[in-house]
Structure 1
Amino acid sequence: MSSGLLPELQFARFLKIGKLCIQAWMIHSVNLCGKIWFKLCSRPKDISCSTVKIKGYQDSNVEILIYSPKGLTDDAPCLVYYHGGAFFLGDFPMIHTLCFEYARAAKCRVAFVRYTLSITRPFPGPIEDCYSALEWISDHATELKIDPKRIAVGGDSAGGCISAVVSQMARDRHGPHICFQMLIYPVIDNTQSLPSAKNMTDAPITHPRLVRKMWQIYLRDMKNSSLPYSCALRTESFKDLPPAFIEVEDLDSLKDEGIFYSHCLSKAGVPVQLVQMKGTFHAFDIFVGKQVTKLAVKNRVKALKAAFRK
């Protein structure tokens, strides 16, 4: 495999994660382990971290971690980052490591949003939390030393979906200006109707059964899953959205969703850069030391830097 991920791919397939019967206690246990793991990890010395807590949907508590590399000006650009994890898993140290690198290399602040997980509160809770965080960051841009005209959103997997939907919400609600959206192997379609979502039953991590379970948990209080903002495809128009960078992985059942969304945006006149990685699978970048991960991060940072130029 040209990506150098053959051992990791074989391990992911051996686990057969997508064929597990997901139970609530398993999700809560994994999230508890993630919280402990994060607390045990040391922070890089060249990046400062501050934490704020705001009120989200129905008075939920939303934590935002602000990462700032040394040497930034008082009007630095900002990447508002929404983590993945099927909407029901929390954040793990590897994604923070990537965010540190985005902050360093793109010379920006990163606002990492810990939204309410769907295992606790389903749609629209998580997405409204994320929009509230974006509004708060924009409203407090001066205090946070952020340029309000250079705020981007980004995320991986479910976080990619959130980034795309938050961009639609900001447009429809005449909310904060978003200069760019960075969608990393995003989940886009809750109907799972595209070919890769139906046919790639050997995909590690994103087995169609697991993706279906993700949507069932996230949308469990909904009688009609076609409501606006339930996923990125449930919008009347793709026009007037921020320029986008979309990365899809070769061995990912979500691959066609990201490609299709890029076509939707492009057809509506939205500038899009689509990157199709070879030999990679969903969440491959948890292996942060791999050369293919470094290449992917380089591509993402290049797009961010271009978007942040005044």
Structure 2
Amino acid sequence: MKYPISKELKSISIYSGSMVGRLYPLVNFAYGFIKCKSDEFVTVKKYSTPGFDGAELSTLIIEPRKNEGPLPCIMFFHGGGFLMRASAAHYEIAKWYARELKCKVVMPDYRLLPKYRYPLAIEDCYSTYMWVLQNAESMKINKEKIIVAGDSAGGNIAAAVTLMLHDRNQTLPKGAMLIYPVLDKRMITDSMKRFTDTPIWDSNCNKLFWDMYLKGQEHSQAKYASISEIEDLGFFPPTYIEAAEYDCLHDEGIEFAEKLKTQNITVEVHDMKGTCHGYETAIKSSIVEKCMAWRVEWIRNEIIKKN
């Protein structure tokens, strides 16, 4: 079925979910040649940070030039279905945050499927979050102004890390920014049933991902994989959510926002009309430019100025 997706997304809307599912090894090979480099506005440094169970991760820290710390910090978890590496668009967006908000952006290169299944990715990111807390002073990070952010699977990680921090009695982030997030392994929403052939990501692709991610796991034990199933979310920080109109994940984001609101959590939601999953990839579009302006304003007003 053809969907009335914005012409600005033409370059990405030609790719089907099944195509992405088949070609991810080639995509990862290509992404391996993409580097996040310093420029006239930001510097990019690579650190070795602890992952889960003694592993070591390669983590990027992006920060504005000519800054005086301590600075706010965004823990930025890239999307890609837990299968794919960070893309050029992820790096550009991370640099945008650092430049516009005068903050540090921490991007852990967490371990991926199919070799590393649940809960490796979220435990890796949790470990890096704890490393940031423990080293905040020496790294000139204001640990009272840390937020978690991520798109798609990265949104899942951001929400999961927040829950893990709560359960383990650790310092919570001051905000969560979830961009068309994966939140519910049950796949029971109307959009999940309806969008079986949408660009980039569809419900068939989503099932493939869940089957791979939770292979060998008792679903009842996968608490941190499916945040939508958590009843008590009253501990959550202020949250910003974007949902793509023609995306099987659309309703998960909208329903999660409503659930937070019923528990008196401050939420800002943008239901992005005429978009498909992965619209961030169209980095030069007016769609992304508008979204980035909203995100920067939300972070500045809800996190930086208030804390």
Q: Report the TM range for the smaller structure's normalisation.
A: over 0.9
Partner of 1:27: 24
Listed as ranges, the matches of 1:197-212 within 5 Å are 197-212=192-207
Match of 1:161 among 134, 144, 156: 156
Listed as ranges, the matches of 1:147-158 within 5 Å are 147-158=142-153
Are residues 153 and 21 of structure 1, via their aligned partners in 2, closer, same or farther at CA, if it must alter by over 3 Å? closer
| Deviations 1:251-309, CA, capped at 9 Å, x for gaps | 21111000011111111221111111121111112111111110011111111111111
Structure 1 Cα separation of the partners of residues 231 and 127 of structure 2 = 22
Partner of 1:195: 190
| Deviations 1:91-110, CA, capped at 9 Å, x for gaps | 11111101111111122110
1:42 Cα deviation after fit: 4.7
Report whether the alignment pairs 1:66 with 2:64: no
**Structure 2 SS opposite 1:167:** helix
| Deviations 1:217-241, CA, capped at 9 Å, x for gaps | 1111202255310221242411111
Q: Structure 1 length as normaliser, TM-score?
A: 0.92
CA contact (8 A) 1:134 1:176 kept: no
1:44 Cα deviation after fit: 2.0
CA contact (8 A) 2:12 2:281 kept: no
Letter in 1 for 2:285: K
Match of 1:257 among 249, 252, 255: 252
Letter in 1 for 2:39: P
Match of 1:141 among 127, 133, 136: 136
Partner of 1:175: 170
CA contact (8 A) 1:50 1:65 kept: yes
Structure 2 Cα separation of the partners of residues 286 and 155 of structure 1 = 14
Are residues 276 and 252 of structure 1, via their aligned partners in 2, closer, same or farther at CA, if it must alter by over 3 Å? same
Task: Count matched residues.
Answer: 302
Report whether the alignment pairs 1:221 with 2:216: yes
Q: Structure 2 length as normaliser, TM-score?
A: 0.93
% identical aligned pairs: 28
Listed as ranges, the gaps of 5+ residues in structure 1 are: none
Letter in 2 for 1:129: D
| Deviations 1:68-113, CA, capped at 9 Å, x for gaps | 1123221110000000000111111111101111111122110111
Listed as ranges, the matches of 1:42-57 within 5 Å are 42-57=37-52
Structure 2 Cα separation of the partners of residues 14 and 94 of structure 1 = 18
Partner of 1:308: 304
Structure 2 Cα separation of the partners of residues 101 and 12 of structure 1 = 21
**Structure 2 SS opposite 1:142:** coil
1:13 Cα deviation after fit: 4.5
CA contact (8 A) 1:118 1:125 kept: no
CA contact (8 A) 1:159 1:186 kept: yes
Are residues 291 and 137 of structure 1, via their aligned partners in 2, closer, same or farther at CA, if it must alter by over 3 Å? same
Partner of 1:283: 278
Structure 2 Cα separation of the partners of residues 226 and 131 of structure 1 = 18
| Deviations 1:110-161, CA, capped at 9 Å, x for gaps | 0111111122210011110010010001110011110011110000010011
Letter in 2 for 1:103: A
Partner of 1:238: 233
Partner of 1:15: 15
